Structure 1
Amino acid sequence: MYQPTTDATDLIVRFINAPHDPQLQDQIAALKNQGPEQAAYVEKLLQDWLQDDMQRTVTTRPTKKIIPICKWCAVVVILLLAVGCYLHFRSRSSLIVSANQTGYIDSFLLADGSKAILNSSASIAYPKSFDKELRQLYMQKGEAFFAVPVKNDQPFELIVGESVHLKLDAAAFNVRMDKNKIAVYVTDGKVKMKGEGEEELLLTPGLQGIYSPKGLEQEIMVSDGALAWKTGRLRFTNVPLKEVLQVIRNYYDIQVEVPPSAHTILKKKVTANFESEGAEKVLEVVSKKIGVYLTKDKEGRYYLTLK
C-alpha cells in the first residue's frame, strides 16, 4: 500500500494553491507517473480538498456554491493528468513483451513489416497492431537491430529505456543498451535521436549517437563493427584503434584499457579481419600491428601499453 511522504503531500498542497505554475504541473505529473497508487493518492487528496471547499462554501454562502476559478483549474489539470497516466499504464500493460532467452540471436517481423533482430538477453515490447498515426514500441534492455520500412505516412518511434526517443520514417539501425549508456548506430536512412533534456540529434548512415551521463554525443564510425554480434565477423580496414577497441569490448564483453600515457596510440589505424578467434588472440594481433604491449591482470582486464 502506498505510503505518501511529507514532501509528496506538500507538493500537492502547493499545486492546489498555484495550479498555473508549470514547474508544479511537471512535478505533479512526475509523481503520478510513478505508479497507479501515487496517481490515486493525488486524485483522492484533490477530491477531499474539493469536497471540503464546497461544504465551506455552502455553509457561508448558500445561494452561490461557487468554487474559485483557480481551483477549477487545478481540478481540470489533475483530471487531465489522471487520464494521461491511465492511458500510459494501460498502453504499457497491453503490449507484447519479447525477451530473447534462447542464448542465440532471434528475429521476427512486427505487424508493419519491420524486422527486429534481438541479441541474447535483449527485450522489446510492442502492440499487436500499431496505431494509425504512429508505430511505437519500446526497448527495455540488451542489443537489437531494426529494419523499418515506410508505412503509409506512419512515423516510427522506438523508446529506449526511459530517456531516449528514436524517431524515423524508414531506416535500419542498431541499438545497444549498457549500464551507463545507449548507443545507436545507423546503417541506412535517417534517425532522430533525443535524450532527456538534450537537443535532437540527426543520425545518418555511418554515424553513431551515444547517450550517457555526459549527455548526447555523435561520432563517425569507420567500420560496421557495431554489427559484429549479428554478423559474427570483425572487419577493420584503416580503422582507428579507439573504434577497434570499442568493438572488441562490446563483442567479447571484456575490459580493455589504455593508460593516459599511451593515449596517442588510439589514433593509429588497424587493418585486420577476424571471424572465430578468441578475445585474447584478437588483441594479440592488434597489439602487434600497432607495436604495443598487451598484458592481463588477475581480474581478467587487458591493458595496451607503450613499449
Structure 2
Amino acid sequence: MKQQPDIDVVIRYLEEPGHEEHKRSLDEWLQLDAANLDIFLETKALWQGEVLPATGSYDIAHQWQLLDAQLTATSLPPVTVTVPPVQAVPTPSKGKARALGTSTWWAAAAAAIVIAAAVIIYRQPAYIAQQTAQNTDSLLLPDGTRLYLNAHTSVKYPRNFQKNSRDIFVQQGEVFVDVKHMPEKPFSVHLKNVDIEVLGTSFDVKETKQGVKVFVQSGKVKAIYRNGKNAVILTPGEEAEMLLAGTTISTRHHRNNNPIAWKTGQLTFVDAPLSEVAEILEDYYKVNIVLKGEGLADKKLLATFHKESLTEVLDILSKTLQVQAVQKDSLVEIY
C-alpha cells in the first residue's frame, strides 16, 4: 500500500478531531519526530485561517499537555489547541508527582519529546521564514527546489523535509515554484484554504484578496480546496482561480507566460483585446487602467515588451492602436 504523506495524518485529524483512528494516527506520528508538533501547530493555524505565529513562539510543554488530554480522551468533546505567548515552563515541586494512570508510557514519551522539541525550536528552529519587501527574491530549499518570491511575499518551509513528503506554507503574496523532481516524495504548497500537490514541475501560486490563482508553466499540478469539495488538475498554460468564499474553480488557458511576467520581465500579446491587455498591465505595473470610449476594449494588440517602463509601454500602445493614454499617478486613462 502506498504510504501517505505525513501531512495527510494532520489533515484527516483536523477534519474529524473526534475520530478515534485519526487520533491514534496523529498520536503515533507525533512520537516519530520532535519537530512534528511544530508542523501540527503550523498546519492547524493555516487550517483555521489564523496568522502563523513567529518561529519559536509556542509554549511546547503546554501544547503537549493539551494534546495528551485530547488524544487520550474517549468520551469528552475535542479540545482546541491554542497558541498562547511563550511562557516559562514551571519546574515541578519536589515531592509531588503527576498521576499517570494508564497513560504512563505516553506521558514518558511526551516528556522526552517536549525536551527535544524545545531544543530544536529554540536553538535551531524547525521552520525558516522568508519575507520580501518591495523587491523580488529567490531561495533554494533543502531538496533542491527553488522558490522565486514576488514583492510583499511571505513563506515558511522546514529546515529539513520529512522522509516521504515536502510541505511549504505560503502566508501571503506570490511564489513561482520550480520543483525538484522526486516522484517518491510529493511536494505540497499550503495556503489558507487551498492545497497544491505536485511531483516535479514549475508553477506560480498567488494569493489575492479574493482567493488563490495557480498557473502552470510545465508539468502538472493538482489544486484542492481544503474542505475536499472540489479540485482541479492543471497542465502547462492553464490557470485556475479558487475563491476564498466558496468552492467554485474557474480556469483559463494562456498562450504565453504573462501570469509570471513579474519573474521573467516579459509581456507578450498576440491579437489580445485591449481589455485583456489593460488587466495584465494593471497587475504588472500596479496601476488602475480605465478604458474610455466605445470599441476600445475590442482593439487588438500584437506586441512584446521586456522590462520596459510603463511610460514606454503606453507610448507604444498609443502609436500602435491609435489611442491616447494619460497617466495621473497610479491612474491611467485610455481614450
> Normalising TM by the smaller chain, what interval?
0.5 to 0.7
Secondary structure of 2:78's counterpart equals helix
**TM-score normalized with structure 2 length:** 0.59
How does 1:73-88 map onto structure 2 within 5 Å? 73-75=74-76, 78=78
Alignment: residue pair count:
239
Name the structure where helix makes up a greater proportion of residues. Answer: 1
Alpha-carbon distance, 1:99 to partner: 1.2
Secondary structure of 1:179's counterpart equals coil
Shift in alpha-carbon separation, 1:266–1:191, aligned structure 2, 3 A? farther
1:100 aligned to 2:132? yes
Shift in alpha-carbon separation, 1:146–1:257, aligned structure 2, 3 A? same
Q: How large is the RMSD of aligned CA atoms in angstroms?
A: 3.8
Percent identity of paired positions between Structure 1 and Structure 2: 26
| Residue matched to 1:188 | 218
Contact 2:183-2:199 at 8 Å conserved across structures: no
1:228 aligned to 2:261? yes
Secondary structure of 1:274's counterpart equals strand
**TM-score normalized with structure 1 length:** 0.64
| Residue matched to 1:239 | 272
1:252 aligned to 2:280? no
Alpha-carbon distance, 1:128 to partner: 1.0
Listed one character per residue, the Cα deviations across residues 211-267 of structure 1 (whole Å, up to 9, x for unaligned) are: 2357421111122112221122223233343432232112111111346x74x6445
Deviates more, 1:284-293 or 1:191-200: 284-293
1:274 to 269, 291, 305: 305
Alpha-carbon distance, 1:141 to partner: 1.7
How far apart in 1 are the matches of 2:259 and 2:312?
20
Contact 1:185-1:206 at 8 Å conserved across structures: yes
The structure that has the greater radius of gyration is: 1
How does 1:1-307 map onto structure 2 within 5 Å? 73-75=74-76, 78=78, 94-101=126-133, 103-160=134-191, 162-195=192-225, 199-212=230-243, 213=245, 215-258=248-291, 262=294, 265-296=296-327, 300-305=330-335
Listed one character per residue, the Cα deviations across residues 70-115 of structure 1 (whole Å, up to 9, x for unaligned) are: xx7542x526x659xxxxxx999842101124x4332221111111
Structure 2 unmatched runs, 5+? 1-17, 20-43, 83-117
RCO (CA 8 Å, sep 6+): is it higher in 1 or 2?
Answer: 2
Q: Could you list the structure 1 runs, at least 4 aligned residues long, displaced by more than 6 angstroms after superposition.
A: 34-37, 90-93
How far apart in 2 are the matches of 1:186 and 1:115?
15
| Residue matched to 1:54 | none
Q: Which amino acid aligns with 1:99?
A: Q
Shift in alpha-carbon separation, 1:240–1:130, aligned structure 2, 3 A? farther
How far apart in 2 are the matches of 1:195 and 1:257?
34
